[in-house]
Amino acid sequence: MLGSVLTIWALALAASANGQITPPNALNLRITQNMTHTISPTLYLHFLSTPVKLLSIVGRYGYMWEDINHSGDGGLYAELLQNRALQGVIPNTGAALQGWQSINGAFLTVTAGTSGVSSALPNSLQVSIPKTAKGPIRFANTGYWGINVQAGWTYTGSLYVKSPGYCGSVTVALQSASGTIYDSVTLSNVKDTYQKLTFILSPTNSAPDHNNLFTVTVDGAAAAGQTLYFGMFSLFPPTFRGRENGLRMDLAQALFDTSPKLWRFPGGNNLEGQTWEQRWKWNETIGPLENRPGRVGDWGYPNTDGLGLMEYLDWIEDLEAVPILGVWAGVSIGNYSDLPDWPIVPQDQLQPYIDDVINEIHFITDPENTSEWAALRAEYGHPAPYNLTYIEVGNEDQFAPDSYQAYRWQMFVDGINASFPHLSLQFLATSPPSLPLDPPYLKIDFHQYSTPGWFINNSYMFDTYPRNGTQWFMGEYAVTGTETGCELGSPSCGRLLYPTLEGACAEAAFMTGMERNSDVVFASAYAPSLQNVNSYQWTPDIITFSARSVAKSVSYYNQQLFATNLGTHVLATIPEPSPSTAPLYWVASHHATNQLVFLKVVNTGSADLVGNLFFDFPVIGGFGTAQQLSAGLYPTPGVYNISNTLETPDVITPVASSFGIVDSSEFNYTFPQSSITVMTFAVDF
């Protein structure tokens, strides 16, 4: 049997030797029981008698996260009210009123001219009631471009209010833009100093759409000529797993369903700030919301920091993932056209920032009851230490390599290591891979936003990566455009608005290469993750959403297929993918515990291609299953720039099937043009 198989695949290779596989040629593919590459010492699974190449200690696939496109505020963070505490805005400007609007003649302004809710939140919403007011005077928060009102949901709210001359009541409500009240509560006894009033809203009817408001109403006759001040509003719907100050259920569930095993945060550019002072500061993102000043984010809108360090770490625990904690490494982001002017902290001023990271790591990892940091963490609700192994020093320091090489990398790594010798922390560098560092890096984060062609052509790049103890982290990647040289340009030169089938197939081809070489590819993170369709800075993104709806892209489904069908080690195939087997790309893996073999095959071409599959082992049960992304019945054959959007969210979704295998060692399968197929086989080893 083996001899005839060898002959057949030799013929197949000959048929495709001068280029790619084209019909009627078929790919003859033998899946062996053998591991592929030399085992990286750190990934060696010692308790097995046969050495196996692990896919990764931490799991393979995950996300890079930062607040961009209102992915956090107005996205994953479930808070419904936009600009709830008037953070990061300039008082007495129109822009400071983002999210707020007057109804019936109240005059609104943002002021710092009265004492705020807290020293961290100095701004107040000043509401002046006209002297001639009669009847209800109202103002509203528009939410993050709408509010999702659902019957049966409990909305938990609070606000701070004071007035020097009015001691009546205010009424809060969820209502439609056209005035339908879904629920309301009256809060009495406004006083002359700030007090926090809490309330619950429980609509019994769902709104037909998300065009809804949160309103505050004052009796005009009673309050005529008076001024009321408000601060730190909040309104939460039910959250993912019911966590207080938690995450929006549908978005969290969508991310959860892709089984991410790593979460790189808090950026990305949004770690860095446009100035040193505006950097992401971990200690200003913890504890009571009243203590969090928020900041001017890097993506053009204020961040509340309600989604702070502990909320991220709790979420990572819910995911059963590992954090890759990005730490600010002494560079803020200036103008990309003027890189030499980026503000870099000089060597003799860097130590306080390293001390700050050391405090952060104490806060995250100190065992219970052992330090003031552990006590603070317990006070804020998490007595046990969080898991932390991976520290990423900076972000994209290829833009500031000289100081990174000269002192920043070394001072952070040595300084942190000296404080935590017991933690065996691992550090990721963000400088160019070819730049020597002292101490040498063991893990390097590399980012690639590019064309389908780049990802397809580079799907073999890790086959020749040196097995020298270093590992690659694909810490941001996505197909972003169709034209070389314009990958991050405008839609007019090919920039994608949404992930496309063509792009997802290219990403998948590349991912087969990462998975096949998982001894040297530490992990990967698609980026960016979420896009609020009403306000965004970056396309494409893996999930697009509005206040009420979610569209999962074809890249989302690709990530999900890859991450949820993952073996414990890679199986060698004959042949391995190479330019002569294009446009088919594949990886096979074996799950030793579940006794499953996964075969992921990507066809990036424009013709259906047949695979003659041969197994070196019996397939149990006489059948296999497949999940597939393809153009399917899309009405225009050969068009692959098709996307899922909020309007048409289900153009491309995975299609499941099963197929019989008469001869356990051989069967044929057709891989459609532009498709991603994940096959699963039960085995007895």
Residue with Cβ nearer ligand AHR (67 or 515):
67
The CB-of-644 to ligand AHR minimum distance in angstroms stands at 20
Q: Could you list the residues that contact ligand AHR (CB under 6 A)?
A: 66, 68, 267-269, 395-396, 447, 476, 527-528, 538
The CB-of-295 to ligand AHR minimum distance in angstroms stands at 15
Residue with Cβ nearer ligand AHR (411 or 527):
527
Contact of 524 with 443, CB cutoff 8 Å? no
The CB-of-298 to ligand AHR minimum distance in angstroms stands at 7
Distances, alpha carbon 231 to alpha carbons 33, 116, 158, 455, 593, in Å:
64, 7, 10, 49, 55
Residue with Cβ nearer ligand AHR (267 or 306):
267
HSE (CB half, 13 Å, CA atoms) of 480? 21
The CB-of-530 to ligand AHR minimum distance in angstroms stands at 11
Residue with Cβ nearer ligand AHR (65 or 240):
65
Residue with Cβ nearer ligand AHR (139 or 280):
280
Residue with Cβ nearer ligand AHR (481 or 528):
528
Single out the residue of 52, 56, 67 nearest to residue 474, CA to CA.
56
The CB-of-480 to ligand AHR minimum distance in angstroms stands at 10
Distances, alpha carbon 401 to alpha carbons 76, 280, 340, 443, 546, in Å:
33, 21, 11, 16, 39
The CB-of-429 to ligand AHR minimum distance in angstroms stands at 14
Single out the residue of 571, 576, 566, 552 nearest to residue 504, CA to CA.
552
- The separation between CA 178 and the C-alpha centre of its own chain, rounded to angstroms, equals 35
Residue with Cβ nearer ligand AHR (224 or 296):
296
The CB-of-251 to ligand AHR minimum distance in angstroms stands at 18
Q: For the chain, how big is the Rg over CA atoms in Å?
A: 28
Residue with Cβ nearer ligand AHR (84 or 447):
447
Tell me how far apart the alpha carbons of residues 674 and 576 are, in angstroms, rounded to a whole number.
20
The CB-of-501 to ligand AHR minimum distance in angstroms stands at 22
Residue with Cβ nearer ligand AHR (269 or 531):
269
Residue with Cβ nearer ligand AHR (333 or 533):
333
- Token readout for 83 is 């600009």
22 residue type, one letter:
T
Residue with Cβ nearer ligand AHR (395 or 405):
395
DSSP 409: H
The CB-of-538 to ligand AHR minimum distance in angstroms stands at 5
Residues contacting residue 349 through CB under 8 Å, at least 6 positions apart:
none
Tell me how far apart the alpha carbons of residues 430 and 443 are, in angstroms, rounded to a whole number.
9
Single out the residue of 425, 608, 439, 446 nearest to residue 527, CA to CA.
446
Tell me how far apart the alpha carbons of residues 12 and 33 are, in angstroms, rounded to a whole number.
21
- DSSP of 514-554, one letter per residue? HHHTTTTEEEEEES--EEETTS-SS---SEEE-SS-EEE-H
Residues contacting residue 162 through CB under 8 Å, at least 6 positions apart:
190, 191, 192, 193, 194, 195, 228, 229
The CB-of-392 to ligand AHR minimum distance in angstroms stands at 11
Quick count: other Cβ atoms within 10 Å of Cβ 474? 22
Q: By three-state DSSP, how is residue 136 classified?
A: strand
Residue nearest to ligand AHR according to CB distances in the complex: 268
The CB-of-384 to ligand AHR minimum distance in angstroms stands at 31
